[in-house]
Structure 1
Amino acid sequence: MVKIKSYVNRKNSEGESFNALVLEGDLETVTSETGNVYFTARTTTVPSNFDAEKCESLIGRELPGKIVRIPCEPYDYTIPESGEVVILSHTYEYDPSSTETMEEAVFTRDEELVA
C-alpha cells in the first residue's frame, strides 16, 4: 500500500499548472555504503487533474500497489539537507498493479516493528 502524503503544483511544458499527488510507500530497511542500517520510505509524484481542494481532501488516503525503483539515464541530484551533489541512475514510480510477496508483507509493515 502507498499513502497520499501531500500534493505539489507543477507546470507542464506549455506553462499550464496542474497538481501532482505525492505518494509515500511502506517503511523499508536500508544499509548504507558504510554499513549503517536506517529506515526510509520511497516517495514519488503522480500527475492529476484534481484541483487543490480535492488534492487536500485525499491526503492520508491509502492506495493499493507500491512504489518501484526504475533504472534511468544518470542525472545529478542535490541532497537538500547537505547540498551534496550525487549522480543517480534510477527514479521511482507508482505501480498500482504490484502485489507484495509474502516476505514483504511480513517484514516491511509498520505494525510488525511496534513491540
Structure 2
Amino acid sequence: MVKIVDYKTYQKEDGTEFHALVLQSGVEAVKSRETGRTYLTARSARIACTFDEETCASLKGTELPGSIKKVQVESYEYAVPTTGEIITLSHRYEYVDEQESIVRDNVIDKELVI
C-alpha cells in the first residue's frame, strides 16, 4: 500500500497548470554505503492527475493498493535540494498498482526465454 501525502502544482510549456499527487511507501530499513549503519526511509513518487486543487488536498491520507518501485532510466543530472550538489542518476521511483506489480514480478521478457 502507498499513501497520498501531498500534491504539487506544475506548469506546462503552454502555461496551463496541472497537479500531481505525491505518493509515499511504507517505512523500510536501508544500510548506508558510507557508514554501514541502518536508517529508516520511505520511497516517494509523483503521479499526474486530472483533479483540481481542492480534490487533491482532500485526498491526502488516502491509501492506494500497489507499491513504489525503482525503475532504470537513461542517466540524468539531479541537484540535491539540501546541498545543491549535482549528481548523476540512472533511476527513478514510480508507482506500480498491484496487478502491474504481479505481472512485472512474474512474467519473463521474451528476449530472456531460450
Name the TM-score, length of structure 1 as normaliser: 0.80
* Equivalent position of 1:74 in the other structure: 75
Distance 1:59 1:16 in 2: 23
**Deviation (angstroms), 1:42:** 0.6
Distance 2:30 2:69 in 1: 15
**Deviation (angstroms), 1:13:** 3.7
What is the Cα-based RMSD across aligned positions, in Å?
A: 1.2
* Equivalent position of 2:20 in the other structure: 20
- Structure 1 unpaired stretches of 5+: 100-115
Distance 2:89 2:37 in 1: 20
Distance 1:85 1:39 in 2: 24
Q: Please state if 1:49 is matched with 2:62.
A: no
Aligned pair count reads: 99
Q: Please state if 1:2 is matched with 2:2.
A: yes
* Equivalent position of 1:87 in the other structure: 88
**Deviation (angstroms), 1:59:** 0.2
Distance 1:88 1:52 in 2: 31
Matching residue's letter, 1:12:
K
Matching residue's letter, 1:5:
V
**Identity value in percent:** 44
1:59-105 Cα distance to aligned partner (Å, 9 max, x none):
01111000000000111111111222211100011001236xxxxxx
Distance 1:89 1:36 in 2: 24
- Structure 2 unpaired stretches of 5+: 103-114
Rg comparison, structure with higher value: 2
